Amino acid sequence: MSHDPEQPDLFAEKPRTPKKRSKKAAARPASPEPALEAPTVEDTDGVESGLPAHQIRGPFRDLVDTNFLDYAAYVIKDRAIPDIDDGLKPVQRRILHSLHEKDDGKFIKVANIVGYTMQYHPHGDASIADALIALVNKRYLIEGQGNFGNIFTGDAAAAPRYIECRLTELARKEMFNDALTECIPSYDGRNKEPVTLPCKLPLLLMLGAEGIAVGLSTRILPHNFIELLEAQIAVLRKKPFTLYPDFQQGGMMDVSEYDRGNGRVKVRAVIEVKDKDTLVIKEIPFGTTTDSLISSIEDAARKKKIKIRSISDFTAESIEIEVNLMQGQSAEKTIQSLYAFTACEIPLSSNLIVIQDRRPVAMTVDEVVRYSTKRLVILLEQELAYEKQKLLDELHRKTLVQIFIENRIYKDIEQCKTYEAVTQAVLDGVNKFRKKLRRDVTMEDVEMLLGVRIKRISLFDINKNRQELDDIVKALDEVNKNLGRLTQYAIAYLKGLIKTYKDAYPRRTQIEQFEAVELRALTANELSMRWDRENGYFGSQVDGEVVFKCSSLDKLIFVWDDGRYKLTTPQDKVFVDHNLLYAAIFDRDRVMTAVYVHQGVTYFKKFAFGGTIMNRDYSCTQDDSKIILFSDAPVEQVYVKYAPVKNLRIKQQVFDVKEHLVKGAKARGNQMTVKKIRAIATEQPRGWDTSDGSPKGAMLRD
């Protein structure tokens, strides 16, 4: 993330201090009364700035800014965002550290661990208990005994005083090494806590994480443990790899929009057809529970998105939700509707932000895996180096003891009268055999030899000691060999983990390419729109004739006889008055035919509505007009009968309109006639005089 050098460093170890005022400015007396207008004050250098007081920096403003920046940095670094080194948030790290310190292989009351963790975590016990329960439910690091809730049903855990926990064998072996752990004082200075744990696991992607800090947030989706180990082997072998999320709840997942830890995935429930009238949900999407899923299905049923008779939850150790369909409903179509309108399918966004070197950094899954692999190699090398030093120290110690006893150097101290003489006698005695030793003899070595008991001297077994020395030498050779081939050693380590835990952590989420669900096709006949002409109401909950069926996703167009029209969504009941002329599903490109009268002149037009804003009044005619013909069907001819007038020679006419151009909704149209029209139709009406020799109608051009 970029950093503006002109701005204070949000993540600096030392907080920014408020800027001090000059002596000249500090000595200046304050104004006795505040001015009514925004006053101007001198800046910190004592120069008139000419700015309003609320824009001037001063001690209080600097204090507020500094405290806010300190708080923001604290929330980002020490609360909400996990560290890339061990993949943990501070509260998780402190919980695991507390469990490690108290670990004796037995279960411990959660309440005790919560209380112990509070020595390191300066926040409430509830947040610690919640974080511990979440770690137990992720299964990798902490083993629980008792009711820790249910991730499938959303049931809450029992109170911390009733449940117990302990470290798993995986955490015990791979998370801790006191010799390699860097510690710092706790928040009150009374204890020491680790900066990060020497974790050899790709824990950040194993557990996943969510956190909201000041100005940024992170959401890391969990991945499969075994696949992560295989990806690390690929990194060590310099081969390509691909990783996708994996969820404990199972389900199906479409990763077409997943961009290496960013972007999003779509997850679906696994739905099976039990029989023609029953569906069974066996797995649910990550982030949902059986309760939330059932609620979404019931809500969709109330809104008539799906048609079901009942829903039953038989979830126990595994998920089993039965959905009973109404008679005649298609099981396959209902499954598609469940994916479209309920939580049976949800999108999950991913935004991989981590703390690296005490600063927030945006990364990809590939970068995290490569970083974790590099850190693994470093930790393995440090462990080998530490083991080598221990073996060397043990070899040196055993060799010294052997020399001390075999050569009876302890006899040299019998005549010594002071402690200094004793230590010097031992030192001189063992230094005669310096060539057998791997390093110089120190005073600590002398103290160790003086601590050898007489009983051990009398029972000293030379052959056993030599065998132990040989074993140490062999172990040293193995350690040196591994230090010389760290990559192969790391691969062997990862393969050992895979062999041990492969059966315990299989992939649970299936990866599939989802077919797009056509929502309009599923809901095409969802609503029956009715028109109560007598009372002037229109909608799906109106008593009246069914005009058409539509989807709740459709848009409807209403046209009134004065030319006014409006675009709306389908409503349960809306007042449209008695002058409504036309209602239909909106199609911006559909060709409409209209004949209207304006100031005694009749006009004809073909038009399309085009782009229209929802719930805004428009007009397709001139002001103060009256539509006498309106149709959305193709029109080739218009039949007109004129009102009887004295000396009227042409009583009826046919207008050919097939070739007329389609115009915009605001166009005036073509003038048809100034005669008063008695009847007009697009088909030859009853009573039409076919023997009438009147000429065909002709319209005036615009």
Catalytic annotation, residues: 162
Measured CA to CA, the distance from residue 550 to residue 540 in angstroms comes to 10
- H or E segment at 116? helix 110-117
Q: What does the buried/exposed string (b/e) look like for 598-607 if buried means 16 or more CB atoms within 10 Å of the residue's CB?
A: beeebbbbbb
Q: Are strands 258-259 and 262-268 parallel, antiparallel or unpaired?
A: antiparallel
The conformation of residue 310, written as its DSSP 8-state character, comes to E
- Name the burial class of residue 278, with classes exposed (0-12), middle (13-18) and buried (19+) by CB atoms within 10 angstroms of its CB: middle
Query: How is residue 54 annotated by DSSP?
Result: G
Question: Among 477, 473, 464, 475, which residue's Cα sits nearest to residue 402?
Answer: 464
CB atoms closer than 10 angstroms to residue 337: 25
Place of tokens 């696994």: 270
Structure tokens at 138: 């992720």
CA triple 450-456-461, angle to 5 deg: 120
CB 437 within 8 Å of CB 396: yes
Look up residue 603 and give its two tokens: 């006009």
Distance separating alpha carbons of residues 222 and 224, to the nearest angstrom:
7
Tokens 């990809």 — which residue? Answer: 364
β strands within 443-522, DSSP E:
510-511
Cα 56 to chain centroid, rounded: 41
Cβ–Cβ under 8 Å, residues 529 and 547: yes
Task: Provide the angle, in degrees to the nearest 10, between the axes of the packed helices 110-117 and 125-138.
Answer: 120
CB 476 within 8 A of CB 392: yes
- By the 10 Å C-beta count (0-12 exposed, 13-18 middle, 19+ buried), 343 is classed as buried
The 10 Å Cβ neighbour count of residue 59 is 13
**Rounded Cα–Cα distance for residues 202 and 372 (Å):** 6
Q: DSSP label at 516? A: P
